[in-house]
Structure 1
């Protein structure tokens, strides 16, 4: 690979790092062609982009990026694959599901919305991270609860003010 080709790859990697808020670094070495194909298919189904990269080029891209990758460059040893996703826990779920049949991929580290996670031992933690959509659903559910209480109070009390107050006071007590 010429210096110019390396420069182009670094620019592309830097752009991808800048465009993605969820980045997982994994080691998929040792997977045979069939397993690698199955992993790529699982990633595709979960809307995850998987790319094998050269450590030195990725490290230079991380340095050139506006983001602070903390300890992640120190994990760039051996083979490295990058998973880009729009959902924080999707790559962790794919890795965990895939590891029911294989020892790989190993999680080297992750960058999720500016938070840094280093080490395969954090896989379960990353699986449990709620996605933005899940958090919004929880918040909406919490916000709807008081309104549902008022509506059910209105229905059960016959709609009179005295009945509503009585029903609501009984529920709080």
Structure 2
């Protein structure tokens, strides 16, 4: 690969990191070609982009974006693949976990993730990341919580209105 090709690859990778709020770094070494193709297919079906990139190129691309990603230097060793997702930060974690259920060697290995510039390192973080709620789920929960007291007030007023109407009717029928 020539210097120009590397520079173009780094520029493209830097742009991808800038456009994407969430990315995961994995190690798929030890998987067969068929297994890697199956993993790529699972990623594609869930809207996750997966790229295998040299660690030095990942480091250079991360140096070109805003934020401190120096914590990732320790995990950028060996074989690395990057999973990019824009909306639901938990989808790559779920893809990794689903694939691991089928693989007896527990591959791919989760190295690290960046979720809205927060860094998560180590295999033990994968469960927590898979349980993250999407922005839409959180908004839905907040709306439900906000609606609950209003619904109680409205139902109380409606039931009280029926009682009040019955009382007025009874009083008007009396002579």
User: TM over 0.5, yes or no?
Assistant: yes
Assess if the C-alpha contact under 8 Å between 1:70 and 1:116 holds in 2: no
Q: CA separation in 2, counterparts of 1:147 and 1:44?
A: 42
Q: CA deviation at 1:70?
A: 3.7
Matched residue, 1:106: 109
Q: CA deviation at 1:154?
A: 2.5
Q: CA separation in 1, counterparts of 2:150 and 2:60?
A: 53
Matched residue, 1:132: 135
Q: CA separation in 1, counterparts of 2:15 and 2:67?
A: 11
Q: CA deviation at 1:92?
A: 0.5
Matched residue, 1:147: 150
Q: CA deviation at 1:73?
A: 2.3
Matched residue, 2:21: 21
TM-score by length of 1: 0.88
Q: CA separation in 2, counterparts of 1:151 and 1:40?
A: 51
Q: CA separation in 1, counterparts of 2:58 and 2:163?
A: 68
Q: CA separation in 1, counterparts of 2:17 and 2:151?
A: 44
Structure 2 segments unaligned to the other structure (5+ residues): 165-175
Matched residue, 1:168: none
Q: CA deviation at 1:130?
A: 1.3
Higher CA-based Rg: 2
Q: CA deviation at 1:125?
A: 1.0
Moved over 4 A (4+): none
Structure 1 segments unaligned to the other structure (5+ residues): 162-173
TM-score by length of 2: 0.87
